[in-house]
Amino acid sequence: MFDKFAAAHPDLWEFIKFAALGIIASLTEVGSFALLNYVLLVPYKTIPFSWWLFDYGAAKGGLGTFLSLTISYALAQLVNFFVQRNLTFKATNGRLASFVMYAISVVGMYLFITWLPTVFIEPLYAAVGAGPGAILTKMICMTTGFLIQFPLNKFVIMRKK
């Protein structure tokens, strides 16, 4: 059944696989974020952190939230590189070149989605509370990353020769 669909709609099938297999990275990201943000890095949430584009005062979760976002994103992207390259795109371009391009895209995406919450996190926390607001913030950032990463991976980073 899937083979017939994949043959008839290869690009759509690739997008479906990208989304489905991306769940592995998403679970890695949300799980590690929750562990870091709500357990391991709680003492750092009251320490204001401000550097360059990033402004995480205590009301925005401070250093603890910044580190939780950063570490969870890095772990998820490491998992995602191998899953997507090998299972979704079955890339045949050079592994090292692909990894370098992926790393550059991850850093760019990281800067964007780590800055993005500073725009809306306070009103969101005020509307739904800090706990649900943190998870919603993470989900918004993950969705934004997904919508940018698929075409970038498919057409630039994880190509077939």
Q: What is the pTM of this model?
A: 0.73
Angstrom distance (rounded) from CA 153 to CA 145: 12
Q: Give the other-Cβ count within 10 Å of 108's Cβ.
A: 12
Token representation of residue 14:
């690739």
Query: Would you say the C-alpha torsion 69, 111, 57, 46 has a positive or negative sign?
Result: positive
Tens of pLDDT, residue by residue, the chain (161 residues): 678 888 899 889 999 999 999 899 989 999 999 999 999 999 999 999 998 878 999 988 999 999 999 999 899 989 999 999 999 999 999 999 999 999 999 999 888 988 888 888 889 999 999 889 988 998 898 888 888 999 999 999 998 87
Geometric angle at alpha carbon 107, from 26 and 24, rounded to 5°: 15
Q: How many domains does the chain fold into?
A: 1
Helix (H, G, I), strand (E, B) or coil at 117: helix
Instruction: Look up the domain containing 98 and give its range.
Output: 2-157
Residue-level pLDDT at 113 = 85
